[in-house]
A = this chain, B = another copy of it.
Amino acid sequence: MRIGLMGFGKTGRAVGTVLLGSEKTKLQWVMRKSTALEHRSVSEFLGVPTDEPGLIYSTGEMTAAELLDAHPVDTIVDFSSEDGIAYYGEEAARRGVRIVTAISKYSDETLARLRTLAESTVVLHSPNITLGVNFLIIAAKILKNIKPDVDIEIVEEHFKGKPEVSGTAKVIAGALDVGDEAIKTVRAGGIIGVHEILFGFPFQTVRLKHESISREAFGNGILFALDNLPVDRPGLYSMDDLMLPYFKLNATERDFEEEHRKPWWKLW
């Protein structure tokens, strides 16, 4: 699978390292605004020895059409910024190149643009593209579904310098329909990132906890997305969409059992 990477900040580089190290992907290019590393080899720059020829380009030196003509890809992975999509979006959609964007926040206008692009190509948008956090959110929704009146608190821990409340914590709070006052924010030293969802029952607690070790976790989330996104069914997808089929296993198992047990529920 041929990949192009938009953005090459700290997270972009970590994701590039993972893409170079995966046998399933071939990193064709990195495109960024800055000209600082222009035409250097991605492989050499990141210190990951491969035979992949991908170079680092800057948006000023060519249009997306020129880029995709010269170096065609199957999927564009976007860790740049909100306006990255303006550079490559239409050109990718026209060619049916899949778009996987991890930009944490888009304006309503840009989200509308994403939906338009999704009519022509496969688009995945996930503000926190780690497997762990996305699994946590779905699992937490299920537990809340089982016991709607359970007390829920969210504790998020990050490095001292992070000023605002974690965006991921807000997504979790939104998904569980609890107010932002349920989020407890801890800031200390160099903590990379911890999110814990605490369910308090009268006589027991359940804690679902995610800890980031390094930014490369985003790269593995990308690999999962590349594997699980449809190839040719245009639409706007979320990580939820890609993970839900895995929750199906149990239903399949049930099919067999149900014949023997005369199940009492209809929906399943």
Chain A residues within CB distance 8 Å of chain B? 130-132, 135-136, 138-139, 141-143, 145-147, 150-153, 155, 157, 159-160, 184-192, 198-217, 219-220, 224, 230, 233-237, 240-241, 243-252, 254, 261-265, 267-268
Contact = CB atoms under 8 A, between A and B. Distances in A.
B132 A250 contact: no
Contact of A139 (B139, B152, B186, B220): B139
B131 A147 contact: yes
Nearest to A262: B233
11 contacts: A131-B146, A139-B208, A142-B246, A142-B250, A190-B200, A190-B214, A201-B217, A206-B209, A245-B265, A248-B267, A252-B267
A261 B247 contact: no
A245 B135 CA distance: 18
B233 A142 contact: no
A241 B234 CA distance: 36
A200 B160 contact: yes
Nearest to A249: B145
Nearest to A159: B200
A205 B191 contact: yes
Contact of A262 (B160, B235, B263): B235
A-B interface, 3 closest residue pairs, ranked by CB to CB distance from nearest: A188-B200, A189-B200, A230-B264
A221 to B, nearest CB: 9
Contacts of A209: 205-209
Given A146-B243, A254-B244, A135 B206 contact: yes
A264 B219 CA distance: 24
A234 B209 CA distance: 39
